[in-house]
Amino acid sequence: MDIQSWTLLFVGLSFLLYIGIAVATRVGSTKGFYVAGQGVPAIANGMATAADWMSAASFISMAGLISFMGYTGGVYLMGWTGGYVLLALLLAPYLRKFGKYTVPDFVGDRYYSDVARLVAVFCAIFVSFTYVAGQMRGVGVVFSRFLEVDITSGVLIGVGIVFFYAVLGGMKGITWTQVAQYCVLIVAFLIPAIGISWQLTGDAIPQLGFGGTVVEGEHAGKTVLHLIDELHRELGFPEYTAAFVEGKKSMIDVFAITLALMAGTAGLPHVIIRFYTVSNARAARWSAFWALLFIGTLYTTAPAVAVFARVNLIETVHQTPYGEAPPWFRDWEDAGLIAWVDKNEDGRIDYRPGDAFSGSPSFVNEPSGEPVRGELGQRRLDNELTAGPNELYVDRDIMVLANPEIARLPAWVVALVAAGGLAAALSTAAGLLLVISSAVAHDLGKRILMPDMSEKRELFVARAAAALAVIVAGYLGINPPGFVAQVVAFAFGLAASSFFPVIVLGIFSRRVTKEAGIAGMCTGILFTAVYILYFKFLNPSMNTAEHWLWGISPEGIGVVGMVLNFMVMGVVSKFTAPPPQEVQDALMAIRSPLVERLEGADDPPPDH
């Protein structure tokens, strides 16, 4: 069987599983739709959170990005896991004790204001749509490469599946499909990683193979990390393991990006909302632990995959005559994600630092749509060539998907990776769509516009909002803005600068006032959004370290937005009237271990 048939088989089977779960878990109440009836066991919630969390960016793009960034790729590894420590220690248990359904719900009640609620609704929808666009693009990449359908039909198939289980099953359907999707994606990520680790280092555990020694070929006996540093020196790249050398990010930027990603992780509404689905604060804490354990399994494997992929890429491609390039090279070239220009006309692929040409590849096609090819069969481009010696363009998004092929693993492994990539993208998309749906139906509809709406009607509105959000997400997938990880990185800056400070201070201080909350959120998100828009879209030529504020790139600027938010809240609280007594009482209640026990009437009286 070839890769395509295997892919059809795995993807088809996994989709059937998701549909089966959706039918089995359909819901009839708003509590079921928003928070899965609050009866999800901690370990299942941990798994669902892990799938919810690990998106197309984590699965498809992250190892690829690390592969090209070396040490600096650690910002994603630390940033996207360290946030769970903040979640577990500072947010999740208290939010669960406070006992609402959504993040805007907490913000609206804690800051006793519908304006605050409205700002939170706006932030939640904005952050979620930014993030969902990246997922749909991931779905498109997988479909176009492995099933050879065009991106549009690929996205439509994905949209159809999510539509089915999100609209029908709400949070309950999403939770149990996410549990299944975690299993699919982790198996799909680990099997090729183990295969490649075994092949290269003779150690089946990638985390150990990462520090192991190469077993075969001319480099046998060297450790993998020594070898990659050596290859990088030979080709003129900065050393892989070196930290803040020329050509890599500065210390302050690495610090800022890591912190922005951590605070952003803890402030993302689709992650927080998962902690409302368990029965009490204790279960919320334990699900944070399970979630990070499940996430850590992939996140400690990814940097090993990154370095193996880097070694294999350099060894199989650099100085190889184009005619002898392995089949995956041409497949990805046909998919438009690899490009080669023979600058020195020696027929060999030269891989060096710097861009081979300016911009992303623009391939020349015949009027019939057939690609125009050079004498060796390579696709022709009309980009302006750069002066540097590098002849190769490799899209960072392909490293995980191409990795099993580069390492010559069997076809079914390659197909499994495709199914895993889809599971990662679809599970995250569904979680985001539910945030949008609950923000519209519950926070905007029930709490602000139509407080006397019946539960049946609210459920209908929630389903309609979910359906509409799926369609918008599909549109964004077909007309994608930029590449996956880059788009997703913005969502973190925005979440770090808006939600994180408002929720943390809202829990730990009884003194912050509604005026402070509103002013803080607006300041944080406006500052961050303007900075990002300016450097990324309005004036991209200025997007270099010497023009940045204190050398902090747009990816890390959420930290400054966050600090501004905290400061504005502190100052405004000093000059405004303290929160009303019932809010202060509610905050005292979440500082007590008795809160949930009081819900059960048969509490034994404390005996000391």
Partner 1 sequence: MNEDDQLRYWRANLRLVGALLGVWFLVSYGAGILFVEQLNEVYLLGFPLGFWFAQQGSIYVFIGLILVYCVVMDRIEARFRGGND
d(CA 205, CA 589): 47
Total of chain residues touching partner 1, rule CB under 8 A: 53
Query: Residue 17 or residue 78: which is nearer to partner 1 going by CB?
Result: 78
500-539 positions binding partner 1, by CB under 8 A:
none
Compose the 342-381 pattern: x for residues touching partner 1 by CB under 8 A, - for all others.
Answer: ----------------------------------------
Residues 6 or more apart in contact with residue 161 via CB below 8 angstroms: 15, 18, 19, 426
Positive or negative, the CA dihedral 79, 81, 85, 88 is positive
Query: In 3-state terms, what secondary structure has residue 122?
Result: helix
Of 272, 253, 256, nearest in space to 504 by CA: 272
Token digits of residue 537:
């879209």
Judged by CB under 8 A, which of 68, 122, 198, 244 binds partner 1? Answer: 244
Minimum distance, C-beta of residue 498 to partner 1, in the bound complex (Å): 22
Minimum CB–partner distance for residue 251 and partner 1 (Å): 7
Dihedral sign, CA of 116, 118, 122, 128? Answer: positive
The Cβ of residue 367 has, within 10 Å, a number of other Cβ atoms equal to 5
| Contact (Cβ atoms closer than 8 angstroms) between residue 566 and residue 558 | no
Phi-psi region of 239 (alpha: psi -120 to 50; beta: other; left: phi over 0): beta
**Does 211 engage in binding with partner 1 (CB under 8 A)?**
yes
Applying CB under 8 A, the span of 29-37, 174-182, 242-250, 444-452 interacting with partner 1 comes to 242-250
- Interaction of residue 88 with partner 1, rule CB under 8 A: yes
Answer yes or no: are the C-beta atoms of 228 and 71 closer than 8 Å.
no
Residue of 153, 199, 223, 279 that binds partner 1 (CB under 8 A) = 223
What's the closest the beta carbon of residue 102 comes to partner 1, in angstroms?
A: 24
Give 173 or 303: the residue with its C-beta nearer to partner 1.
303
Quote the CA–CA distance of 497 and 567 in Å, as a whole number: 12
Least separation in angstroms between CB 198 and partner 1: 16
Shortest CB 142 distance to partner 1, Å: 26
305 interacts with partner 1 by CB under 8 A:
no
Q: Does 604 contact partner 1 by CB under 8 A?
A: yes
**321-340 residues near partner 1, rule: CB under 8 A:** none
Q: What is the DSSP letter of 604?
A: P
Q: How far apart are CA 428 and CA 128, in angstroms?
A: 10
Near partner 1 in 55-74, by CB under 8 A: 66, 71, 73-74
In the complex with partner 1, which residue's Cβ is closer, 212 or 493? 212
Question: Within a 13 Å sphere around the CA of 378, how many CA atoms are in the beta-carbon half?
Answer: 25
Rounded to whole angstroms, the Cα distance separating 416 from 11 reads 8
**Residue 372: how many CB atoms within 10 A of its CB?**
12
Q: Provide the Cα torsion 166, 171, 172, 175; round to 10°.
A: 90
Which member of 243, 472, 478, 563 binds partner 1 (CB under 8 A)? 243
Supply φ then ψ for residue 360, to 5 degrees.
Answer: -85, 155
Q: Which is nearer to partner 1, 278 or 433 (CB)?
A: 278
Which string of x and - marks every residue 90-119 that binds partner 1 (by CB under 8 A)? x--x--------------------------
**Please, what is the minimum distance in Å from the beta carbon of residue 512 to partner 1?**
17
Question: For residue 64, what are the contacts with CB-CB under 8 A and spacing of at least 6?
Answer: 306, 309, 396, 397, 398, 399, 400
Centroid of chain to Cα 606: 45
The stretch among 87-95, 399-407, 426-434, 452-460 that binds partner 1 (CB under 8 A) is 87-95
Q: How far apart are CA 55 and CA 115, in angstroms?
A: 32
- Which residue in the block uniquely carries the two structure tokens 């850590």? 296
Helix axes 399-406, 114-146, angle to 10 degrees: 30
CB of 201 to partner 1, least distance (A): 9
Give the 3-state secondary structure of residue 2.
coil
Q: Of the listed pieces 109-117, 217-225, 313-321, 325-333, which binds partner 1 according to CB under 8 A?
A: 217-225
Identify the residue among 151, 224, 495, 569 touching partner 1 (CB under 8 A): 224
Q: Of these, 113, 300, 509, 576, which contacts partner 1 (CB under 8 A)?
A: 300
CB of 241 vs partner 1, minimal distance in Å: 4
Rule CB under 8 A: which of 119-158 touch partner 1? none
53 lines the binding site for partner 1 (CB under 8 A): no
**Residues 6 or more apart whose Cβ sits within 8 Å of residue 468:** none
- Binding of residue 233 to partner 1 (CB under 8 A): no
Among positions 299, 329, 492, 566, the unique one binding partner 1 when judged by CB under 8 A: 299
- For every residue of 266-303, DSSP letters joined together read HH-HHHHGGGGSSSSHHHHHHHHHHHHHHHHHHHHHHH
In this chain, which stretch among 83-91, 438-446, 525-533, 547-555 interacts with partner 1, using CB under 8 A? 83-91
Shortest distance in whole angstroms from residue 564 CB to partner 1: 20
The pattern of x and - marking residues 259 through 298 that bind partner 1 according to CB under 8 A reads x----------------------x--xx-xx--xx--x--
Place of tokens 């490469």: 145
Rounded to whole angstroms, how far apart are CA atoms 114 and 526?
Answer: 20
**Binding of partner 1 at residue 225 (CB under 8 A)?**
yes
CB of 424 to partner 1, least distance (A): 18
> Interface with partner 1 by CB under 8 A: which residues?
66, 71, 73-74, 77-78, 81-82, 84-85, 88-90, 93, 207, 210-213, 223-225, 241-244, 251, 254-255, 258-259, 282, 285-286, 288-289, 292-293, 296, 299-300, 303, 588, 591-594, 597, 604-608
